[in-house]
Amino acid sequence: MSLFGAVRTVARSTPAIGRIGHANFFAITSSSKNNIVNNPTPQTTSIRSKHSATQVKRLFKNNPARLRILKKQEGGASTADKSSSSSTPERVYPEIFQPTFLSNGWSAPPPPEVEIPEYSFRITRTAGKPNNAVGFLPVYRDVRVHGTKRTTLIRSVQGDIPAFLSELRAVLNLSTGKKGILTSASTGKHGGGEAGRGVNAQNPIRIRTGGAIEVNGDRAKEIKKWLAGLGF
């Protein structure tokens, strides 16, 4: 048989093979349908998760953003407790008279008929004035860092310093600060003195070396009015 004859024979036999295959396929399909109808069996469908258990734990449960949120929520209660403990105290000593101030910041002490109570702290006015004149209250403005840093200094404070600071906080509506009342003994996390860094909005009060009390911001008028109203 020639080559062309063999090719012709294969081409003629191929459709028959295809027809047999299709017939067998339809026969198998119909028999499987009958088996399913006659013998129904429950089928379970399992859906695979996009992430494995390890991935879910790593991506969601231990996600850094989620952990930060949880830490912030857990710290909310402790922060509320801290804020309640460091809230503004109430005043103990009320004003005994209304002072009058001159343009230079000087105010006259109360007249003799005004009874001055006994305070646990005291403020000494400046001395050395001509003719033994009454001096000024030792409250000063301090401007540093090219005029961008303004603080208020209170000098010549004697007696119960914690009681004075409590009254000062009540008058100025100040908290104890994030790190408490700063002193020259306060140290930062890098070993530097926190008091040497100065006061700011988070830490508004510090006791400087020498006993002077520094308050964040220009609060000189408020402090002078408070001290003069107490009779100092």
The three-state (H, E, C) secondary structure of 68-118, written as one string = HHHHHHHHHHHHHHHHHHCCCCCCCCCCCCCCCECCCCCECCCCCCCCCCC
Given a cut of 70, the residues of the chain with pLDDT beneath it are 1-51, 57-61, 75-86, 185-197
Instruction: Determine the pLDDT at residue 190.
Output: 42
**Nearest Cα residue to 174 out of 119, 226, 232, 217:** 217
- Determine the distance from the C-alpha atom of residue 223 to the mean position of all C-alpha atoms in its chain, rounded to a whole number: 29
- d(CA 217, CA 151) in angstroms, rounded, equals 4
| Residue 170 · residue 90 · CB < 8 Å | yes
| Residue 156 · residue 123 · CB < 8 Å | yes
Long-range contacts of 131-139 (CB under 8 A, 24+ apart): 134/108, 134/109, 136/105, 136/106, 137/105, 137/107, 137/224, 137/227, 137/228, 137/232, 139/220, 139/223, 139/224, 139/227
- d(CA 227, CA 208) in angstroms, rounded, equals 20
Instruction: Determine the pLDDT at residue 69.
Output: 77
Instruction: Determine the pLDDT at residue 47.
Output: 61
Which residues have CB under 8 Å from 180's CB, separation 6+? 186, 203
- d(CA 174, CA 194) in angstroms, rounded, equals 19
Q: Which residues are bridge partners to 141 per DSSP?
A: 152
pLDDT tens sequence across 46-73: 666 666 777 776 666 677 777 777 777 7
Q: Which helix (H) or strand (E) holds 66?
A: helix 64-85
Q: Which helix (H) or strand (E) holds 221?
A: helix 220-230
Instruction: Determine the pLDDT at residue 76.
Output: 59
Q: What's the token pair of residue 42?
A: 């429950």
